[in-house]
Amino acid sequence: MDMFNSILLGIVQGLTEFLPVSSSGHLVMAQALLGSEPGGGIVFEVAVHVATLFAIVLFYFKRVTALTHGVFTGHGDSWRYVMKLALATLPAIAVALTARSFIEHQFASPVVAGCLLLVTGCIVWSTRYTINRGTDEEPTWKGALIIGCAQAFAILPGITRSGTTVATAMALGMAPLAAAEFSFLLGVIAMAGAAVLMLPELTSASPELMTSIFAGGIAAFVSGLAALVIFVWLLRSQRFFAFSWYAWIAGGAFLTWLAMS
């Protein structure tokens, strides 16, 4: 993968990681449209996800700091919230450990990404009916596990992690901004875990691949910060569901292009 493609894919990753349109699906589609093999495969995918992890930490810096301080000082509310994040992480861990080869196979299939992007459109559209209903500032224990299952489903390319977890949280009664915060802080754990699993591949990567990963990571970090601002604005303005049209159009257009190429 050359430098230009790495930066372009990093921008795609950063913008689509937080907007409800599936970053993984867009990376698969971008690689197909560029006519290049994913030079680092799932390793590159995880590496740019880690870059967006730092964007989340910076965006929610006060909340992350407060939770960290609360955990180390034994504050009950902080411990409860962090433990709910941990519980919600378990389904994705289970899927990653037991179905890694299956997941990697899906990432190699552009058709899967296109079809699942259509599913993403339906998930995002559902928020039109739930965005004004919820008032809870955090999920119940059962709700946290359900949100975690939604995140595990979103491992597949084409399924939006942010959109699926936020849509699920709002369906369970959480307020929109609280749902977004839980989703993104949950993403920190998921991305960090994925990075740990990919560490052997990263340490054995060639210098050329590491250069591509670094360039893509910087691009993903900057564009990810911009996407976070847009995401929160969409929730506040109650226009979140509008991205379903984008997902349907992008998925349909990509599948049409595949069929004609």
Q: What is the pLDDT of residue 200?
A: 67
CB-based contacts of 20: which residues, under 8 Å, 6+ apart? 120, 123, 124, 160, 162, 163, 166, 167, 231, 240, 243, 247
Q: What is the pLDDT of residue 257?
A: 94
The alpha carbon of residue 115 and the mean position of all alpha carbons in its chain are separated, in whole angstroms, by 18
Q: How far apart are the first and last CA of the chain?
A: 22
Q: Mind listing the pLDDT tens digit for each residue in 57-89?
A: 999 999 999 999 999 998 889 999 999 999 999
- For the entire predicted model, the pTM comes to 0.84
Q: What is the pLDDT of residue 23?
A: 76
Number of domains the chain is built from: 1
Judge contact between 181 and 63, C-beta under 8 A: yes
**Tens-digit pLDDT string for the chain (261 aa):** 567 778 887 887 788 878 888 878 887 887 788 776 545 556 677 777 788 888 999 999 999 999 999 999 988 899 999 999 999 999 988 998 898 888 888 888 899 999 999 999 999 999 999 988 889 999 999 999 999 999 999 999 999 999 999 999 999 999 999 999 999 999 887 777 767 766 666 666 666 767 877 888 899 899 999 999 998 898 888 888 989 999 999 999 999 999 998
Rounded CA-CA distance 199/211 in Å is 16
| Residue (of 236, 188, 178, 223) closest to 56 by Cα position | 188
Q: What is the pLDDT of residue 256?
A: 95
The whole domain housing 166 covers 3-260
In 224-237, which positions are buried (b, 16+ CB within 10 angstroms) versus exposed (e)?
A: bbebbeebbebbee
